Structures are given as structure tokens and as C-alpha cells.
Structure 1
Amino acid sequence: MPRMNRRTLFGIAGAGAAAAAGAGAVLAAEHVLPASVGGGPDDVVPFRGARQAGITTAAQDHLYFVALDVTTTDRAELVDLLQRWTLAAERLTTGAEVAVDGAIGGHPEAPPQDTGEALGLPPARLTLTFGVGPSLFTRDGVDRFGIADRRPPKLIDLPLFAGDAIEPGRSNGDLCIQACADDPQVAVHAVRNLIRMGFGTTAVRWAQMGYGRTSSTVVGQATPRNMFGFKDGTSNITAEDTAGLARHVWAAAEDGADWMTGGSYLVARRIRMAIEPWDRTSLLEQEEIVGRHKGSGAALGATDEFAEVDFSATRPDGSGPLVGMDSHVRLAHSSTLGGVRILRRGYNFIDGTDAEGHLDAGLFFIAFVRDPGAQFVPMQQALSTKDIMMEYLVHTSSALFACPPGVGTGDHWGRTLFGNPA
């Protein structure tokens, strides 16, 4: 007997409310442990290094993500902002104010240079990760900043997938900044001040806050849970898996864009979850949909969360596979996807309720990949058309950004793309 579509049954398919406003050296720069495995709120994640922080960095507890449109037509003005952003970002990640005079050190009759809400707070392992979207290169066929020929072949326009309800107003963007920290105020303060610096050059297109990481990016972090109550990202790529990172995450020269070598591609998807229908679903059905036990996180029929999933196991009555053909675990597994893997770095979100009183909540999915067209697109095509969990999900936001390699001493965000200023 086919399952009833819960989104139809409970009438909650709306899009929801508006959004809230070489590897060893790399590990030394990014592999900062969270409090649960030896770190603490006073820890500083180095801002400069071969890779941008905030990718393989041990996932922090909070996120503030912003996508921006570039409003200037002056290339030099944009590059100048990226230089100033870089210096400010480096200060912010150490726990300092955005500028020397800060919130209270300037002229009392002038607006403060820093908004001040992070005064007295520790660095909280703040990381700031920068990316550029396809529209920065061309818009309506126009080469906006003389860089159209430098658009990476891997920086594609993401397609629509089955069941998508994408809202253009909170999708895409010319630039993005991902702020992650163990204190939400630290993350918000950083993005707020960078936005302020960009006034007249950039404007916020959309933003999303997230809490409660839904992935582990280093060995030693416990697997977190999503809004459905299940452990999420058990088989995620970690910072210690240098071979996996080289194959699936870090862009290489042979990928067709030299300036992206050592960088990665950030996929962002806001996924609203049908919380109330899910909460009315039996535990047995929930576990069959996911393909894992809710308590341990182990695949059905197993006891170890990290044991290989046995897709050949059958139900005791022989009626079919123990891990269903339309279960999330089977369809998202690398063996089903031809070996494709991704580095997940998502967060839970709650943005209030909709007009019917249902929670506007779910997963803000972030993944870093080497080739979005060969990794994320086939994975999402399979999930959107076959995964029984899609009865409880609707994707409302979609974006892809190219995140360049890290910044060295004297370097700045975007320098590998734009070159040194004249």
C-alpha cells in the first residue's frame, strides 16, 4: 500500500516565512578542536593559510550566512572592499573589533567604527569563509568586471530539482560570507560589520541564521542530530581524510580554473522540514524512511553507528531489503552514487511559524565539493525523485559559490581572481 504524501495531507507545502535578515600544513591551520574534544571559547582559528578556514575546521555550533549583490560597477571599488574586508575579517577572528577605534574609541560625535555587540566576548572559534557566485562574472550577458572568461567551468547554474519551491529572493548572489562560531553573537557581529563596510558597494540579498551543527568535520566530534531527531552526517568526510578531501573537496589546476586551485565550491540549500507531520509518524516508519535506528544512528540491523551499511540484509520475513530501496541512507550512500561523496557543513534553523502555525524550520544544508555538477547534482536528482523522505521536505533556497584558496600574508579575498590592484 503506497504511503500518503504528508505535504498534501497536512497542506504545508508553502515556502515559509522570509529569511532572517599539501594537506598537512592545511590541517595545522584549520584543524582546531571544539570544546567537546579539547578546544574552548578563547581559541582562535587562524584566518590566513593555504585553505580558507570554515571548510574543514571543526564545525562550530552556530552559523550566520549572508549572500550579497554587488551594487557598484567599478572593479577597483570592489577590489578595495575585498581588501578592507580581509583586514577586518582577520581582526574579527582574533576577537578584536573591526577597526582600531572600534565601538568607543573614536570621536564621540561620529558613528562608531564597530557596532559593539561583541565587546567582551571571546573569539569563539570564529571563521569567515568567502565565495563568489556565477552572477559576479556575467549578468544578463554583460561582463560586469572584466572577469567573464575566468568563470570556472565547475561554477555551474544549479538546476531545479523535483519538488523544489525555490524563492529567487533568497537564492543565488554575487558574493557570500559564511560566519561560523561557538557564540551566535560573535558570528552575527562579524557579518553585520562586514555588511556595514560594504554600504554603497554591496547590498544584502538574503541571509540565514543556523544553530546546532548537523555535521562533524573532524574525528572526535559526536555526530549531531537534525530537526527530525536523527543523527546526521555519519559518513561525512573529515579533516583527517586527506585523500578524500583531495578527491572530493579541493579544486585542482586540472579542473579548469587556476585561480581556484586549493579552493572549493559551496552549495547552499534551505530545506524546510514538515515538522508536525513527522512528529505524528510512528518510530518504525521514521526509521524505515531514514534507514537508521533513531537512538544509536546505526543502520537498520546494526548496532554500530559507523559500521558499513549492509544493503544485502533482508527483513526477517523475507519481504524485502532491511534498508529500503527508497530509504534516505541507501539513496545518499556513495555506493549508490558511483562513489560520490561530499563534505557537509549544515545547520538547523527555526524561523518562527507560518500563517497556519506550523514551524518554519529545518536544515540549512551546506556542502563543499570539488565538482558540483558531478557530485551534488546527481545526488540531489536521485534524492528528489526517489527518496521517501521528500514527502517531508521542501527546498526553498538554492545557491552555489566558488570559494577561492586561503589568503597568505599580505594577500586578500579575491586576489587570485582579480589579481593585484594596479
Structure 2
Amino acid sequence: MLTDRRILLILSGSVAAYKALDLTRLLRKAGAAVTGVLTAGGARFVTREALAGITGARVHDDLWAAEAEIGHIRLARWPDLVVVAPASADLLAKMAHGLADDLASTILLATRAPVLVAPAMNPAMWEHPATRANLALLQARGVQVVGPGVGAMAEPESGPGRLSEPPEILAAIEAILSPAGRPLAGRHALVTSGPTHEPIDPVRYIANRSSGKQGHAIAAALAALGARVTLVSGPVVVPDPPGVTVLRVESAREMLAACEAALPADIAVMAAAVADWRVAQASTQKLKKAPGAAAPILEMALNPDILATLSRHQRRPGLVIGFAAETEKVVEHAREKRLRKGCDWIVANDVSGGVMGGESNTVHLVTAGGVEDWPELPKAAVAERLAQRIAQALG
């Protein structure tokens, strides 16, 4: 798939830089020509000789090298794609602010090729507002991102910031360079995820148990297929998917307003677990428990039905997909829900076990044509399968 494609691979300083050697092997096996560039930090983890041996080409690491007759401008013009893996917090900051004090940052400032970065850093560095702002700025300029993953780090801690595995980075490269790998390019997808919080008073709220893992995975999978994705998320702790515009909300009414503001869209996937009811009049003060007093009586009001509203909206997306979290008669209830809401598909799942907050899901795709029973899969795999199914439906 990558035959005769030219990849400029930049390695910055990270203990995960060794994975770039495996990535290089995969790229060469796929037919790509790879030229390596080492930053000073990258050279502390991977040697020029090791990288040159795998790429079969000279490795560049010095902006001022006398023998660098190709020059940084020619290096910047050579590739079909520049891949920064691993991308350290320092190099991301240089890219965001246009600094060019070494060969790698100079190439990144001068290149006209698309750029893919695979961040790798300590969780605290990844979650720092400066890093998130730098990445958002780069994404707004068209830089594409893969990862990072969540897992054990070099330090005795775990969290987001782990370099994506080489096959995942390879898939992202193929998606960028292969039109067939981006079948949703030019499409706008609207995705909702997570729970909603409906206030009782300034301290308490009504909510569902959704973690947002499935909805966020769907947003990432649609973006990987080339879609422009707007993710409307309730309160969650999972990281934002890369390359996705995230709108954060609290309540069902806020979620509906954000969805309507995001229209028009070609695709709507309503994966959020929206609270059906809210307290009609939330207290402005904390409700106090008095000795011997009865529990307060909460008058409830019905929340807006986001799925039904979008399904019958004047600017209805071409494909509207709802979710049905059920504890009994899963497919029967999902079929009835699809007709009642007016949506095109329902993704139904049995949540009587540990699905909410868990890592896997067993779903049934209910359409006008019938029911597809999918096996138990990791939530990321469910998302990828659904995204591919959406791409097929949109032709």
C-alpha cells in the first residue's frame, strides 16, 4: 500500500524511541522509502547506525553538517509525509511556536508535506495545559495525531502519554497516504459521548454510569477514516480523541444545544447516556439533612430527547444512529426504539453486566434491514467496525 511512498521519520527524545525502529521495519516491508532524522534527544536512545541500517539510507542529525549537501530545504521537500515518532513535549512546543533551532524543527517549519505526530511523554507532561494548547494549535493547522495510548510508563506510574504501537502508527500513515483509507474525507460526523449531570443542588446531581469510552472511541474511529468530527461530551475522565473537536457540556439541555449548533452534519452517532429526567427546580443552596426530618421530595421533569429531535430536525443528518442500553429484551426494545425515535440505526447492548466503564462491549446493530449480532469486542474494535459500516453505508 505504501509502495514508492517517501517517509521522513523524525525521532525526538523519548525512552520509547526504540519503537521507531520497529515502525521503520514495517514501513520498509510495506514498500516505503524511509529517511531518518534524529534530534539530540533522540540520539540518546537510538543510534545513527541502527536507524541507518534499517532505513538503508543516510540518517541526518546536524543542521550545520558540512556533508549535508542535500540541505534542510531539500529534506523538507522530499517526503510524501513527515512522521514524528516519538514526538516529545519539547518538539511539539517548537512546532506550535515556529521555533527552528535544529535540523528537525527546521524541516518541520519548512515542509509542505502533511505531518503526523505520535506523542510520547510522562502523563503529567501530556496533561499539562501548555502541551494540550500546543497540540490543539497544531491540529488546527492540519497536523494529524495518532495516540498517545494509556499504560505503563518508564517511570513507576501509568497513564496517558504512552507512544502508540508501531502497527497503529502504520495504520495512521496508510490512512493519510491512501485515499481508500479515508473514505469519510469531506464528511462531518457529530458524536455524543459520556453521561449528563442533572443538578439537584450545587453539590448533588442525577447521572448515568457511562464512562464515555465507547463514544470517544467512535469519534476517534470516524476521524481515522477522514471525517471531520465534532464530539459533544458530558463529564468524563477519558482523554480527548486526537484530531477531534470536543465540546464539553454538563446537562441534557446543554448537550442538545451543542448538537444543534454543530449542524449540519452528514453523520450523527448519539452514544451518550443522557439522563431521561432532571429535577424541575434545582436548589440554589445545598439541601440540608435535618435530624428527624423526612427526605426531600424531588419533582422531576422530562429532559429533551436528543436522538428524536435530531432524527426529525429540519437539518437532519443523512445517517442518524442511536444507542440502546438495555438490561432485558435487548433487540426487541432496540427495534421499537428505532421506530419510535425515527433514527436510521440503533446500536443495542446489554448493560446488566460490567459494560459501563468496562473495556469491551457486545452489541447488536439494528437497521431497517434486520439485526447484525456482533461478538464481544474491545470498545475500540466496536468503534472501528461501526465506522467502517458507516463508510459503507455512505458509499
TM-score, normalisation: structure 1 = 0.28
Q: Give the number of the structure whose residues are more often strand, by fraction.
A: 2
Q: Give the number of the structure whose residues are more often helix, by fraction.
A: 2
TM-score, normalisation: structure 2 = 0.30
Structure with bigger RCO (C-alpha 8 Å, 6+ apart): 1
